[in-house]
Amino acid sequence: MRIRWMLAPLMLTLAAGPALASFTSSKPDPPSSPTGTTMQATESSNARQEAEKWYHDAYEDVTKAKEAQSDPSNAKKVKKLYERSIDRAGRAIEFDKKYHEAWNLQGFAWRQLGNFEKSVAAYEQCLNIAPDYAPAREYYGQTLLAKGDRAGAQVQLVWLQRLKADDLAKQLEAAIAAAPPSTDTKAVAKPAETAKADTSSAGGR
């Protein structure tokens, strides 16, 4: 009898054990952390915002340079503004390498500075990303024409006609018609002349 009396509390404790252990060992689920996709999207969004800030500043420089170009005494100021716009557009591209408007702006600025090789390279980068970006097609054609590549300019004109960018096509067509049959590939277009042709959409707009 005494043995039964001593074993009874022990049996009750063992019977309650599993339920108690289960209850006390349970823990709330840890807070969910952002997934890799969400973090990448956020980082991409922040990078684009930074790129847009730099592009905006670059565009402002181009606008100021074009306004100053009418006065020959501003030549140094104009050069400095275009150079700074190239640097700022470059910063935009560092944040977003597919920012085709920034590549286009660089192409425009390099052309105003008379560096056609770098201008062409920038336009080609832009058009590799956005083949149907009509402003770059027109600018690219103007640059090729300034280099003496009349055939290349004609190709860009066909693109513009295909894209139904009528105003830009007319500008390039007029430039091709006014160009001599054979131009000096080393000739440097005058900034005021090239800027006049781009008044409607310089700097990627």
Considering the domain boundaries, does residue 69 fall inside one? Answer: yes
Beta carbons of 197 and 171 less than 8 angstroms apart: yes
Q: How many domains does the chain have?
A: 1
Neighbours of 139 (CB within 10 A): 30
Q: What is the pLDDT of residues 154-184, one digit of tens each?
A: 999 999 999 999 999 999 999 999 998 754 4
| Residue 72: inside a domain | yes
* Structural domain contains residue 70: yes
CA distance 136 to 204: 8
| The two structure tokens encoding residue 56 | 């905006």
pTM flag (> 0.75): no
pLDDT tens per residue, range 81-133: 999 999 999 999 999 999 999 999 999 999 999 999 999 999 999 999 999 99
Q: Is residue 202 part of a domain?
A: no
Assess if residue 152 is contained within a domain.
yes
Domain residue limits at 86? 46-197
| Residue 139's CATH number | 1.25.40.10
